[in-house]
Amino acid sequence: MSMIFAKPSMRTRVSFETGFSLLGGHAIYLGPDDIQMGKREETRDAARVLCRYNDIIMARVFGHQDILDLAKFATVPVINGLTDYNHPCQIMADALTIIEHVGRLEGTKVVYVGDGNNIVHSWLLMASVIPFHFVCACPKGFEPDKETVEKARKAGISKIEITNDPKEVVQGADVVYSDVWASMGQKEEAAYRKQAFQGFQVDEFLMKLAGPKAYFMHCLPAERGVEVTEGVIEAPYSIVFPQAENRMHAQNAIMLHALGL
Ligand SMILES: NC(=O)OP(=O)(O)O
């Protein structure tokens, strides 16, 4: 497997590399300077070369079009390891974690608090195929992509709510979910975002409002004291580390499925 990383990673790289090795394969890491997709090499050329050496490609890229182009031009399966638009492997691991802790994903209430980013888009796409109650509480101006929200609503499978007040919607949550306020490629906006996201920190008060059955989840890496308090991420109801572990188990299943094994 070739693993193309245009962005930094710990979980995605190590879970894919270790997981593929456990399945009997060999993974090759290609960092940002190796291919320089779109600069040194066109994406469609990288796709057509790599598939002549490898049985599968995994890629973490900036623009979503890059993953679509890799999939279009490669003759082997291409797995999305995160784009600016979505992060499907993360949400597959999250679903597995919810099934392990709550007993099911169907019918649960998942309340995401923060930026309407690629994680939210993948949650919305999951809500298009599995019935549950998904709520995204984000500041005004940081809502998820309208078309993706519409697609999830049109699927008519799940209850979808987009709101600007986490306190109003958190009660009865099975999961309260958080992510960094400034993702990769937005670090220059970090100070501005910290201001804009005031009131969207997941703290002990919000978890109390959620109720006694609520678990806390975060895709990591986390900035303690920013989007989540130290007390919440270290609480017994925090399942962020089983969640991180499940990246590998979920991806192993994805790789076996993609390879038809
Ligand atoms: N959650 C996640 O994708 O982590 P990495 O950026 O470390 O891969």
Active-site annotation, residues: 219
Say how many Å lie between the CA of residue 22 and the centre of ligand 1: 20
CATH code 3.40.50.1370 for 88-243: yes
Per-residue model confidence as pLDDT tens digits over 176-192: 999 999 987 777 888 99
CATH code 3.40.1160.10 for 2-84: no
Q: Residue 133's pLDDT band (boundaries 50, 70, 90)?
A: very high
Task: Check if 2-84 and 88-243 are the same fold.
Answer: yes
Nearest-CA residue for ligand 1 atom 3 is 12
pLDDT for the residue 183: 83
Per-residue model confidence as pLDDT tens digits over 67-117: 999 999 999 999 999 999 999 999 999 999 999 999 999 999 999 999 999
Q: What DSSP line would sit under the chain, residue for residue?
A: -EEEESS--SHHHHHHHHHHHHTT---EEE-HHHH-BTTTB-HHHHHHHHTTT-S-EEEE-SSHHHHHHHHHH-SS-EEE---SS--HHHHHHHHHHHHHHHS-STT-EEEEES---HHHHHHHHHHTTS--EEEEE--TT-PPPHHHHHHHHHHTSSEEEEES-HHHH-TT-SEEEE--SS-TT-GGGHHHHHHHTTT--B-HHHHHHH-TT-EEEE-S---BTTTB-HHHHTSTTB-HHHHHHHHHHHHHHHHHHHTT-
ipTM given for this complex = 0.99
User: With 90 as the cut, is the pLDDT of residue 254 above it?
Assistant: yes
pTM of the model: 0.97
Per-residue model confidence as pLDDT tens digits over 5-35: 999 999 999 999 999 999 999 999 999 999 8
Percent of the chain with pLDDT over 90: 95
Per-residue model confidence as pLDDT tens digits over 60-77: 999 999 999 999 999 999
Q: 54 CB less than 6 Å from ligand 1?
A: no
Q: 243 CB less than 6 Å from ligand 1?
A: no
Q: Which ligand 1 atom is at minimum distance from the Cα of 87?
A: 3
Q: Where are the domains of the chain?
A: 2-84, 88-243
Q: Which ligand 1 atom is at minimum distance from the Cα of 81?
A: 3
Q: What is the residue-averaged pLDDT of the chain?
A: 97
